[in-house]
Amino acid sequence: METREMTCINCPLGCLLTVTKDNGKVTVTGNTCPRGEDYGIKEMTDPRRTVTSTVRVKNGSAVKVPVKTKTDIPKDKIFEVMDVIRKAEVKPPVHIGDIIVDDIAGTGVPLVATKDVE
């Protein structure tokens, strides 16, 4: 049996959750809404994060363009994603929503620009 305490980040209430995993079954207590239960289960079984960073721009109006993963990725892939981001470079123009890396670090998730750079 594994038990963890965590603060739910799905709404402004910030409920203190107690999440227990026993023989594959996950139970959540302390939540005041269904989102807290969903968050606790997801954090215990498949933690994911959205990664935000910057990518170098070659000969643009800015040196770097802000980027983010289009959706969340497995938490254990963050360092691999950051390695790809550190090596990436784009040429202008770059527009919000442009895909910078199609399938970042084998996650199936694209890395997209979050600002225009000319």
pLDDT of residue 101: 98
Give me the mean pLDDT over the 77-92 stretch.
98
Ordered by start, the domain boundaries in the chain are 2-46, 52-113
Give the predicted TM-score (pTM) of the model: 0.84
Which tokens sit at 48? 């994911």
What's the Rg (C-alpha) of the chain? 18
| pLDDT per residue as tens digits for the range 20-78 | 999 999 999 999 999 999 999 999 999 999 999 999 999 989 999 999 999 999 999 99
Q: Which fold has domain 52-113?
A: CPE0013-like fold (3.10.530)
Between CA 113 and CA 73, with CA 106 as vertex, the angle to 5 degrees is 60
